[in-house]
Structure 1
């Protein structure tokens, strides 16, 4: 069942319930009012006839004739008068006698002063009447045919109006729910046309600030992120393909030249060394891609524990110098620390070592003296690291793009690289809730500033 149909039915049920309760309250109130007013009428008739009998001393036969005459055309009130000993003094029609008074009823009326009750649709009132110091019991009864006719008419009218109202409400509910959900249907149709090949399409929205506009804006924002992700993925795949194709093509070329004709041992050694160099490039690229994948995991899937920054820096230095013995790396403490907590952060030691190794390697690789230094300082609830070198520096234009994946600036002429290192480093540091920035001057060197919270 569609939501708009379900809402129309729910709207109808709620409205029907409200109408039903409203109609029931009106009917019940009218019924109570009719009964109360008729009892008041009976009381007046009883007192009036008692006054005629006692005060005006109207002949009982005359009163009975008036009753029987009126009864032909009206629902005349039948009145009976008794003394306290249950002796009948007057009755409009003893032969009819709808009430069927008893001595116990007479005593109850005399004791309470007034009673009201219903007898097979006939309303009965009994009251104590005082005349010349003596107390009498007067009963009056009648059938409110006019009142019941009005109630039946009200009931029939209420049922008819209820049925018509429900039909109208259902039709109106279906119409308005269809109209209200029309923008949703349009959004659904538009969304069906959005695929991976046309992520530039967006859902229509307006400035009403309603829920549908908010939904459209949220969906469009998601499409913006997906489009950026797809573009980044395409760019990423394109760059990887280029980075892999170049060394692989070089390896194939070296090997083909080696087997095409006989060469001396030195030529073979040169071909092997060139192929090995290109193979190492592929390995470095593969390792960098694996590290990017690890750094892109959901943080909840990455193992974090308390690690000392100085120990990770020492491991990173050892890793870099193992592959490049001529690299010189210094670790310097600007301020002393009092305990392990001051120099420790919650981190993944492997990823952090990759980030530091990239910064060390970049500092050494782009410096003629192959020298890099890191300074460690402690500030309020943070650890500050400054990676410095006196290398060739980075231009202002390149400095704005150094953290973009596969970006290669002018320094690629100075040393080989694949443009992944700094992008990976930034991703790892952000994963650890840290910050990284850089300053540089051409010909003077570069400084990378890294900060980690340790509070």
Structure 2
């Protein structure tokens, strides 16, 4: 559940609870008011009947029945009963609608003076009446159909108002929250466009002064600081790498010339060879840093040219053989395109050569026979490069992180390395829109699989 949905759900739920509380309170207050009003009407009826029957001597029981039956304020299914102080029924206005009161009921009327209760069908009001030192119990029962109908009508009216009000608020809250938080959605989409090669993107700022605009302004200020720091770091890396590359290359060339001297002592030759290998590795690291410094430049893609994969492989092997004379390559091309097209791709030759140098060198030093099998498999729209060697394989759980910077597999043994070669490989291949994966195809066989998009004939 996202922020808009949570905000709408909480607001709508609180409103629903509040509206339910209000409607329930209105209903209960009206029900209580109806009961008090009907009770007062019954009390008035009981007082009137008692006064006429007990205090007015000219009115007897028969005449009182006639008065009760023809009263303009007669209640529905009304029945008035009067008991004397000995609990004897002395008057009953309707013989067919008798509500029998027990001695306990009459005692309760005497104690409380006025008692109102509801039965399954009737409302009953009991009064304790005193006249001329005599005590009487007056009970009036009736059915409040008119007010019950009004109460039912109010119940359905309030329930309908609650349903309609809740539905409207839920719809409006989701609609308004979506509209109000639309700038955040726009920010999210805009932020997703920001990459390490495109740090110039900024969020749009409105003229209004609100929290969302303040957030956009703060984010843009943060991006300015990040962009400045990134440019300074990239500039330093590029300058340092360029400055280091020339002297390291000069040292490597001088060592290579010394190694080729025929009068050189074997021990010194071995030491120089070791130094030359380390220098070559240092040169590779510097070249990789230069590549990383250039790879994020937006204009760098302008340097992409047509490259034949097979020629790039041969050039890489020639450079690698200078350092590792026993390096062996088994190379094949498998063409499944149905034509004689060459395996050409579009890319940066320097960067791709760094990729192959890292992969070939790893395949060489981690192999058990210094033999590398390389297969180019051409398809209709892509070229697959499969690099295979035999030797100790890493653990299965290591294969997913081999292309992470400074991570080295479990099969490294005593082999030296920086742990950044494969991460640079992945970075450069992603830059070329190529896919790379590592597979263990046999108990003692490693394979790196790269997929390039073939250059289409225009």
Structure 1 residue 71 displacement after superposition: 9.5
SS in 1 for 2:116: strand
When normalised by structure 1's length, the TM-score is: 0.53
Say if 2:97 is the partner of 1:90. no
- Conservation of the 8 A alpha-carbon contact between 1:39 and 1:125: yes
Q: 1:251 to 1:83 in 2, by over 3 A?
A: same
Question: Partners in 2 of 1:238 and 1:107 — Cα distance?
Answer: 106
1:218 corresponds to: 218
How large is the RMSD of aligned CA atoms in angstroms?
3.4
Q: Which moved more, 1:166-175 or 1:245-254?
A: 245-254
Q: Structure 2: any 5+ residue segments left out of the alignment?
A: 263-271, 273-278, 287-458
Structure 1 residue 206 displacement after superposition: 3.8
Structure 1 residue 257 displacement after superposition: 8.2
1:124 corresponds to: 124
SS in 2 for 1:197: coil
Say if 2:256 is the partner of 1:242. no
1:149 corresponds to: 149
Q: 1:72 to 1:134 in 2, by over 3 A?
A: closer
SS in 2 for 1:53: helix
1:187 corresponds to: 187
Question: Partners in 1 of 2:87 and 2:260 — Cα distance?
Answer: 144
Q: Deviations over 1:143-199 (max 9, x none)?
A: 111111111000110111111112211221121011011101111121122222221
Question: Partners in 2 of 1:197 and 1:108 — Cα distance?
Answer: 91
1:203 corresponds to: 203
1:41 corresponds to: 41
Structure 1 residue 261 displacement after superposition: 10
SS in 2 for 1:96: coil
- Conservation of the 8 A alpha-carbon contact between 1:84 and 1:110: no
Q: How does 1:163-182 map to 2 (within 5 A)?
A: 163-182=163-182
- Conservation of the 8 A alpha-carbon contact between 1:116 and 1:126: yes
Structure 1 residue 13 displacement after superposition: 2.1
Say if 2:16 is the partner of 1:12. no
Q: 1:15 to 1:237 in 2, by over 3 A?
A: same
When normalised by structure 2's length, the TM-score is: 0.53
- Conservation of the 8 A alpha-carbon contact between 1:127 and 1:137: yes
1:100 corresponds to: 100
Q: 1:235 to 1:55 in 2, by over 3 A?
A: same
SS in 2 for 1:194: coil
Question: Partners in 2 of 1:200 and 1:109 — Cα distance?
Answer: 89
Question: Partners in 2 of 1:139 and 1:259 — Cα distance?
Answer: 129
Q: 1:253 to 1:51 in 2, by over 3 A?
A: same
Q: Structure 1: any 5+ residue segments left out of the alignment?
A: 263-271, 273-278, 287-455
- Conservation of the 8 A alpha-carbon contact between 1:45 and 1:77: no
Q: Deviations over 1:280-312 (max 9, x none)?
A: xx9xxx9xxxxxxxxxxxxxxxxxxxxxxxxxx
Question: Partners in 1 of 2:248 and 2:101 — Cα distance?
Answer: 120
Q: Kindly tell me the number of residue pairs found equivalent between the two proteins.
A: 270
SS in 2 for 1:220: helix
Q: Deviations over 1:117-147 (max 9, x none)?
A: 1111422111111112222111111111111
Structure 1 residue 204 displacement after superposition: 1.9
- Conservation of the 8 A alpha-carbon contact between 1:67 and 1:76: no
Q: 1:73 to 1:131 in 2, by over 3 A?
A: closer
Q: 1:261 to 1:66 in 2, by over 3 A?
A: same
Q: How does 1:354-393 map to 2 (within 5 A)?
A: none
Structure 1 residue 108 displacement after superposition: 2.8
SS in 2 for 1:90: strand
Structure 1 residue 223 displacement after superposition: 1.6
Question: Partners in 2 of 1:92 and 1:29 — Cα distance?
Answer: 33
1:52 corresponds to: 52
Structure 1 residue 69 displacement after superposition: 4.3
1:62 corresponds to: 63
- Conservation of the 8 A alpha-carbon contact between 2:53 and 2:60: yes
- Conservation of the 8 A alpha-carbon contact between 1:202 and 1:220: yes
Structure 1 residue 87 displacement after superposition: 2.1
Q: Deviations over 1:209-228 (max 9, x none)?
A: 53323432333233223212
Question: Partners in 1 of 2:78 and 2:197 — Cα distance?
Answer: 91
SS in 1 for 2:95: coil
Q: Which moved more, 1:239-248 or 1:181-190?
A: 239-248
